[in-house]
């Protein structure tokens, strides 16, 4: 991920993509490092090279299945932290940050989305300073003190996640407006909008091609912009809007948003090997 043998990129301040991945894995009885860990890091690197989207501190990802394919581990998501031991270095070809991949259980990932990944990992590091990925552990949220601190932080701060990248988020406008969302996108919307809108923050669903965004506003309304479809909602209307939407196929309308139809279609959830593991909606 960095320029090892010569300067290959134009930015003299940054070496390559400016990062290298690390992963601290609890060793059990394996004689050699497991191949799945190398495959995971290679897949993350391949994604960066192919898309140009660079992972950074505080980013997170649902793996839609176990981190080690074929295993029964509860670890099914990851977040990215600065490696506490390696940190930053400056090389002849520019600076590099060592970014540690940290395995999370699914409920921990939900908590990260509802709060803030960096704050969650900072709190986790008080229990596990090295942020070790242990395939055999259960969720830290079983610890009532830890869970209480996470819940308090979420209530206090809301969510730092301003956008969810989803497979289906489309819109078209004529006399009326029709927004089409995958059921999995709706799941993200229902989970995170209450953690954004009452705090005066927008939340968006982006398919890469089109974006649907919900903005805080004094009155309920909708409008089409050049690069997004915008639903405007007062903070007090957030609960009513969410109650009028469901994670199942169908069409949804609201009296306070005349001319708007939201159509929900099923979502296929694939693991990081490309296998369909669930159909939602």
Nearest to 23 by CA among 127, 122, 99: 99
The reply to whether CATH 2.60.120.620 applies to domain 163-269 is no
232: which residues sit within 8 A by CB, 6+ positions away?
Answer: 214, 215, 216, 217, 219, 220, 221, 222, 223
Q: In the prediction, which pLDDT does 272 show? A: 65
What does the alpha-carbon distance between residue 68 and residue 250 come to, in Å, rounded to a whole number? 35
Q: In the prediction, which pLDDT does 29 show? A: 85
pLDDT tens per residue across span 170-193? 999 999 999 999 999 999 999 999
Domain segments of the chain: what residues? 14-157, 163-269
pLDDT tens per residue across span 31-45? 998 999 999 999 999
Residues of the chain with pLDDT under 70: 272-273
Q: In the prediction, which pLDDT does 274 show? A: 74
Q: In the prediction, which pLDDT does 172 show? A: 96
Cβ distance 47 to 63 under 8 Å? Answer: no
């Amino acid at each position: 991920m960095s320029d090892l043998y010569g300067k290959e990129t134009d930015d003299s301040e940054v070496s390559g993509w400016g990062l290298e991945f690390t992963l601290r894995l609890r060793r059990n009885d394996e004689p050699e490092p497991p191949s799945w860990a190398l495959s995971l890091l290679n897949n993350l690197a391949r994604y960066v090279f192919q898309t140009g989207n660079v992972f950074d501190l505080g980013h997170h990802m649902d793996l839609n299945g176990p981190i080690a394919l074929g295993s029964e581990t509860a670890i099914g998501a990851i977040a990215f932290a600065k490696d506490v031991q390696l940190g930053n270095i400056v090389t002849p070809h520019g600076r590099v940050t060592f970014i540690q991949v940290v395995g999370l259980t699914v409920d921990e990932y939900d908590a990260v989305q509802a709060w803030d990944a960096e704050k969650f990992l900072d709190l986790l590091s008080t229990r596990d300073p090295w942020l070790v990925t242990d395939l055999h552990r259960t969720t830290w949220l079983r610890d009532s003190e830890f869970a209480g601190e996470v819940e308090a932080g979420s209530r206090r701060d809301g969510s730092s996640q301003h956008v969810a990248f989803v497979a289906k988020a489309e819109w078209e406008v004529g006399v009326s407006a029709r927004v089409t969302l995958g059921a999995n996108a709706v799941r993200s919307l229902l989970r995170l909008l209450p953690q954004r809108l009452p705090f005066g923050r927008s939340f968006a669903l982006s398919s890469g091609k089109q974006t649907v965004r919900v903005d805080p506003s004094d009155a309920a309304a909708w409008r089409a912009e050049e690069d997004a479809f915008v639903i405007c909602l007062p903070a007090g209307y957030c609960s009513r809007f969410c109650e009028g939407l469901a994670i199942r196929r169908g069409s949804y309308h609201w009296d306070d948003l005349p001319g708007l139809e939201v159509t929900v279609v099923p979502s296929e959830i694939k693991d990081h090997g490309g296998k369909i593991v669930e159909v939602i909606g």
